[in-house]
Amino acid sequence: MPETQNVTANQTEQRELRYDPQRIEEKWSARWQADPDLYAAEPHDSKRKKYYVLEMLPYPSGVLHIGHVRNYSIGDALARYMWMRGYNVLHPMGWDAFGLPAENAAIKNNVPPREWTLHNIANMKAQMNRLGFAYDWSREVTSCLPEYYRWNQWFFLKLYEKGLAYRKKSKVNWCPECATVLANEQVVEGCCWRHEETPVEQRELEQWFVRTTNYSDELLRDLEKLAGWPEKVRVMQRNWIGRSEGALIDFTIDGLTGRAGDKITVFTTRIDTIYGATSIQLAPEHPVVADLVGNDHHLHAKVEDLVREQGSAREAGDIGGIEKHGVFTHRYAINPFNQEKIPIWIANYILMDYGTGAIMSVPAHDERDHEFAHKYGLEIRVVILPRRVGEPPEEGKEEKPLLPYTEKESLLINSDEFDGLSNQDAIEKMSAYAEQHGFGKKTVTYRLKDWGISRQRYWGTPIPMLYCEKCGIVPVPEDQLPVLLPDKIDITLQGGSPLARVPEFVNATCPKCGGPARRETDTMDTFVDSSWYFYRYTNAQLADRPLDTKTVEYWFPIDQYIGGVEHAILHLIYSRFWTKFMRDIGLIHNDEPVLRLFTQGMVIKGGAKMSKSKGNIVSPDEMVARFGADSTRMYSLFAAPPDRDLDWQELGVEGVHRFLGRVYRFVMRNAQAAKTTARSDGGPLSPQARAIQRKLHQTIRKITDDFQGRWHFNTCVAATMEFVNELYGVESAIAAGNFPAEILAEAQKKVVLLLAPFAPYLAAELWEVLGETDNLLRYPWPDYDAELAKEEEIEYAVQVNGKLRSRLSVPADCPEDLVLERALADDKVRTSLDGKQVVKTIVVPGKLVNVVIK
RNA sequence: GCGAAAGUGGCGGAAUUGGCAGACGCACCAGACUUAGGAUCUGGCGCCGCAAGGCGUGGGGGUUCGAGUCCCCCCUUUCGCACCA
């Protein structure tokens, strides 16, 4: 019988020592949620230094995916760490809640978009809480609620007032799948960014645009200030803005002089090559083409072909791969510099939406023009040589014109009075010449276009505009905001804006004349919502203004923004624009919203992007159910550095779970020992205790360095593991009462603190087990003592001719010459020397000795 | 085509300034404990070799006492840009 009792006692003990994340995490999750102020930031008059850490807000699709978990785990670790460092941390969360999926769900399941969205939000919020993310929910922002979107409307009115919102009929990108217009930024390789297989069509529509191009130059220039952004993102934005300096030059069409439309204006960055221009090339859709073609049916058909070729290449996303085709118009243009008549062609590689849609073709100095001229037998005339001004040609060196031509070494020829200039000088002089004579001027073009924000969809912010028969376009007066989105509505994906079919919405009164007016039935691009949401977090309850200037001044710029690189252009360029606009209407004072940006890598599985079709989706819920939130989160930080792609392996999560179990069991077994066993007698510590103390301080140093310096959370976790392994090595000494209590107590307490940013639930539980009652997040991050971290013995590597031959353990303060002496006396070293001559010796203090022999 | 990043055991990854390659984890192997349990604890684990030793960071060259790290050439992968005039 006693035996049975023993077994039972043993089992009970086993059960108590089992790490049960579900029990621990549910207990703390409930406590945390019962305390809404737990993660609340202090107001902006706080004495603490502020730290604003932000993860990109999610679209409430229904469930969190594992990429979200990684994103939020990084942000949460940072927020917790900064709290422990004593900062006043702002760490909010919200919902990018407008958008098409809600409408699709409405069609499919017959649920109102609002209901579907709010239901998803509740679900995802519960997931976030289960994962233990420390958000200040009192600042939650939900973009589909009128309290938020009324300010989108307010901003729109301000944009309109400043002439930055305008209505224009133009060719726009149309996704047939979404049944709406897309911004240029939302077209990826000719296809919709949401439907990567669906080619975007071009449609002629009347649309609202926002004048982002007013800020082209500043958006470009200020990229220089963003030192805390990944270079990659800055390059992408720079390319997207696409600034290009050049000149506009008018070529008169021969035979049309004096008539309206007698000119073709070309854009060139290389005015210095204008004497080498041997043709004009027009985009097939250039407005002058119709005139030039006239009644020539044959020519007309050919132009149609060119339009089609360009269109299909564009849809295929491969404009660059198009085979160059063109057609001669039988008309000529006059080069204003030398009065030369050059043929006018229409070519499929000329784009109407860049520059003026017309170029001067210089085959000798442009690769594309060369290809085209070669194909059609057009003249190739060299006007620049690769030689410095004033230098004679090099003997025997063939002076080939360069393709493509760049270089500082450049000398103009065949260019009348400009002969002998360098190309830089020529650009200056020729631009001035053109300007003086009234046929040209310097200019700057951008690839960046104005932002088309109209969407023919229901689930978005209504654009607060009215159309009155008498008064025309009339803005909704501010005091009538918000223009509410009607609730009950029949949604289909056909027939344009769903709101247009809701008479109660459409029919309104003109605020100017009191007569009947129609409401604008398009809604805003959802990127409007995300362009300024992070300002709203600073005071989400504010009822009479979008934000409070003083409060924003305290919190901005965002100290650390974390999200996927896929937003490098869209969201991050729109929100930079929005910030500059808000500044210019005096609402805020900062020029840029984000000080430091971090783009985390993707989570992949089996080397491939996760997708439903591949069936390799990892469910966060399943991970939490099997291993707990702490293990799931910590694994996402441990498996790879945060900027790299992470290949998700469940066995890895299990490994982290096992480690957290080791920590749990150690503390459970030894928390008591730290109180009951004897402290050291004040004399020198035992080597074992000293080793633990040293390793602890080294670990704190390593984790602190890696955390703030490099963001290598994986090595932070690894260092903690190493230290815990060391603790296990002295456990028998602890059990035997041979380990000083104060060292044990310090070790346990600090391990828990070091774990707090990564595994907050376990840290909270063990903090309580250790008898601590303070809020862990307000407890200071542990300091290390450099003296205590110091090694007393150093192991030198001893090399002979760079090859490792032996190791040598010496006291840390051992002088170099003594280290060398002992190295040379080493048995293995002497064997390797074998009577050969020592040529040189190198001692790297604290590291190695290298003996060079011959 | 242009630009950027990356390439290290069976796998994920360490190596911060040119100084002991492979920390930490996974997988695997062995042992201990055990009502056999996918629990826990301990140890081993780059490759070849019985060993001594040799080889080893995509490939080839170079600089250096010493190279994963610096330089040159090449290969592969990922990302971005791509008739932007």
Residue A298 burial (10 A CB sphere; 0-12, 13-18, 19+): exposed
Give yes or no for a contact between A241 and A219, defined as CB atoms under 8 angstroms apart: yes
- What is the end-to-end Cα distance of chain A in Å, rounded? 77
Name the one residue in this structure whose structure tokens are 């009324």: A150
From CA A740, how far away is CA A679, in angstroms rounded? Answer: 5
Greater model confidence, A128 or A188: A128
From CA A236, how far away is CA A566, in angstroms rounded? Answer: 11
For A651, phi then psi, to 5°, come to -60, -30
- Taking the CA of residue A847 and the C1' sugar atom of nucleotide B42, their distance in angstroms comes to 31
- Report, as an integer, the average pLDDT of A818-840: 83
Please tell me the least confidently modeled range out of A167-171, A255-259, A503-507: A255-259
* Strand B proximal residues, A:769-828, Cβ < 7 Å: 795, 797, 799, 801-804, 807
For A173, other C-beta atoms within 10 Å of its C-beta total 20
From CA A444, how far away is CA A439, in angstroms rounded? Answer: 17
Q: Which helix (H) or strand (E) segment is A59 a member of?
A: none
- Taking the CA of residue A6 and the C1' sugar atom of nucleotide B40, their distance in angstroms comes to 18
**pLDDT tens-digit readout, A782-795:** 999 999 999 888 88
The per-residue pLDDT for A394 is 57
- Taking the CA of residue A778 and the C1' sugar atom of nucleotide B9, their distance in angstroms comes to 43
Q: Which helix (H) or strand (E) segment is A430 a member of?
A: helix A423-436
From CA A666, how far away is CA A745, in angstroms rounded? Answer: 12
Q: Which amino acid is at A6?
A: N
**pLDDT tens-digit readout, A350-387:** 988 888 999 999 988 888 888 899 889 999 898 888 77
From CA A278, how far away is CA A256, in angstroms rounded? Answer: 20
Q: Which residue is nearest to nucleotide B65 (CA to C1')?
A: A852
- Asked if residue A662 keeps its beta carbon closer than 7 A to nucleic acid strand B, the reply is yes
Give yes or no for a contact between A192 and A223, defined as CB atoms under 8 angstroms apart: no
Q: Look up residue A594 and give its DSSP letter.
A: B
Q: Which nucleotides of B are covered by protein (CB under 7 A)?
A: 3-4, 11-16, 19-21, 23-27, 35, 37, 39-43, 54, 65-67, 79-85
Residue A315 burial (10 A CB sphere; 0-12, 13-18, 19+): middle
For A848, phi then psi, to 5°, come to -155, 165
Please tell me the least confidently modeled range out of A332-346, A359-373, A430-444, A499-513: A359-373
The per-residue pLDDT for A5 is 40
Residue A9 confidence class, pLDDT cut points 50, 70, 90: very low
Residue A672 confidence class, pLDDT cut points 50, 70, 90: confident
Give yes or no for a contact between A38 and A32, defined as CB atoms under 8 angstroms apart: yes
- Taking the CA of residue A840 and the C1' sugar atom of nucleotide B56, their distance in angstroms comes to 27
**pLDDT tens-digit readout, A116-136:** 999 999 999 999 999 999 999
- Asked if residue A701 keeps its beta carbon closer than 7 A to nucleic acid strand B, the reply is no
- Taking the CA of residue A695 and the C1' sugar atom of nucleotide B67, their distance in angstroms comes to 30
From CA A693, how far away is CA A682, in angstroms rounded? Answer: 15
From CA A328, how far away is CA A342, in angstroms rounded? Answer: 11
From CA A543, how far away is CA A126, in angstroms rounded? Answer: 27
- Taking the CA of residue A735 and the C1' sugar atom of nucleotide B71, their distance in angstroms comes to 58
Residue A27 confidence class, pLDDT cut points 50, 70, 90: very high
- Report, as an integer, the average pLDDT of A260-282: 92
Q: Which nucleotide is nearest to A283 (CA to C1')?
A: B85
Q: Dihedral sign for Cα A380, A386, A387, A389, please.
A: positive
* Strand B proximal residues, A:569-588, Cβ < 7 Å: 569
CB < 8 Å & 24+ apart, contacts of A684-690: A685/A740, A685/A743, A686/A738, A686/A739, A686/A740, A688/A730, A688/A733, A688/A738, A688/A739, A689/A730, A689/A739, A689/A740, A689/A743
Helices (H), A685-740: 687-705, 713-729, 731-735
**Of A553, A272, A619, residue with least CA distance to A428:** A272
Tokens of A238: 């720079």
Residue A495 confidence class, pLDDT cut points 50, 70, 90: low
From CA A389, how far away is CA A385, in angstroms rounded? Answer: 10
Q: Which nucleotide is nearest to A7 (CA to C1')?
A: B35
- Report, as an integer, the average pLDDT of A218-224: 93
The dihedral over CA atoms of A397, A401, A406, A411, expressed in degrees to the nearest 10, equals 80
- Report, as an integer, the average pLDDT of A511-534: 95
- Tell me the helix, strand and coil percentages in chain A, rounded to 5: 45, 20, 40
The per-residue pLDDT for A403 is 45
- Taking the CA of residue A719 and the C1' sugar atom of nucleotide B23, their distance in angstroms comes to 9
Please tell me the least confidently modeled range out of A123-127, A201-205, A447-451, A833-837: A833-837
Q: Which nucleotide is nearest to A273 (CA to C1')?
A: B85
Tokens of A758: 């990564």
Secondary structure (3-state) at A509 = strand
What does the DSSP assignment read for A280-327? Answer: EEE-TT-THHHHHHTT-HHHHHHHHHHHHHHHHHHHTT-GGGPPP-EE
From CA A755, how far away is CA A702, in angstroms rounded? Answer: 13
* Per-position b or e across A159-171, b if 16+ CB within 10 A of its CB: bbeeebbeeeeee
Q: Which amino acid is at A195?
A: H
Tokens of A713: 């959370």
Angle separating helix axes A570-584 and A231-241, nearest 10 degrees: 70
Average pLDDT, whole number, for chain A? 89
**Of A376, A389, A317, A318, residue with least CA distance to A347:** A376
**Of A349, A346, A294, residue with least CA distance to A319:** A349
Q: Look up residue A407 and give its DSSP letter.
A: -
- Asked if residue A230 keeps its beta carbon closer than 7 A to nucleic acid strand B, the reply is no
From CA A327, how far away is CA A331, in angstroms rounded? Answer: 11
- Report, as an integer, the average pLDDT of A513-535: 96
Secondary structure (3-state) at A512 = coil
The percentage of chain A sitting over the pLDDT mark of 70, rounded to a whole number, equals: 94
Residue A808 confidence class, pLDDT cut points 50, 70, 90: confident
The per-residue pLDDT for A412 is 87
**pLDDT tens-digit readout, A685-733:** 899 999 999 999 999 999 999 998 789 999 999 999 999 999 999 999 9
Residue A496 burial (10 A CB sphere; 0-12, 13-18, 19+): middle
Q: Which amino acid is at A338?
A: N
Residues 6+ apart with CB under 8 A from A853: A800, A801, A832, A833, A836, A837, A838, A839
For A443, phi then psi, to 5°, come to -155, 165
Residue A317 confidence class, pLDDT cut points 50, 70, 90: low
Q: Look up residue A1 and give its DSSP letter.
A: -
Does the pLDDT at position A613 exceed 80? no
Question: Using alpha carbons only, what angle is made at residue A344 by residues A339 and A345, rounded to the nearest 5 degrees?
Answer: 155
Give yes or no for a contact between A222 and A592, defined as CB atoms under 8 angstroms apart: yes
Q: What is the CA radius of gyration of chain A?
A: 35
**pLDDT tens-digit readout, A744-779:** 999 999 999 999 999 999 999 999 999 999 899 999
Does the pLDDT at position A838 exceed 70? yes
- Taking the CA of residue A673 and the C1' sugar atom of nucleotide B32, their distance in angstroms comes to 25
Q: Which residue is nearest to nucleotide B64 (CA to C1')?
A: A802
Q: Which nucleotide is nearest to A665 (CA to C1')?
A: B40
Tokens of A161: 């007032």
From CA A5, how far away is CA A295, in angstroms rounded? Answer: 107
* Strand B proximal residues, A:329-388, Cβ < 7 Å: 348-352, 354-355, 357, 359-360, 366, 368, 371
- Taking the CA of residue A641 and the C1' sugar atom of nucleotide B12, their distance in angstroms comes to 11
Residue A265 confidence class, pLDDT cut points 50, 70, 90: very high
Give yes or no for a contact between A307 and A285, defined as CB atoms under 8 angstroms apart: yes
